[in-house]
Amino acid sequence: MNEHWTVRVDRELCRGTGVCAGTAPRYFRLVNGRSQPVDHVVDPDEIVLDAAASCPTEAIAIEDDSGHRLAP
């Protein structure tokens, strides 16, 4: 069975610094000055966790298939 991660960005917390898009452009983009995931369900990739960890406002949440929070 393939594991997947769910990626969410709290657009109220996001300040649009672009760190996530710079760190993981395959997974995040800025839209109207705020981050959003390119896809909400992704294959596990450490760069997604790196992007979440680098978010200065902790606006990025990553969960695995079981609902376990991986970040922040």
Contact indicator for 25, 35 with CB cutoff of 8 Å: no
Close Cβ partners of 3 (under 8 Å, ≥ 6 residues apart): 43, 44, 64, 65
**Which CATH number fits the domain 5-66, given the four candidates 3.30.70.20, 1.10.1740.10, 3.40.50.10420, 3.80.30.20?**
3.30.70.20
pLDDT of residue 16: 95
**What are the residue boundaries of the structural domains of the chain, listed by start?**
5-66
Using a cut of 0.85, tell me whether the model's pTM lies above it.
yes
Condensed to tens digits (0 to 9), the pLDDT of residues 16-42 reads: 999 999 999 999 999 999 999 999 999
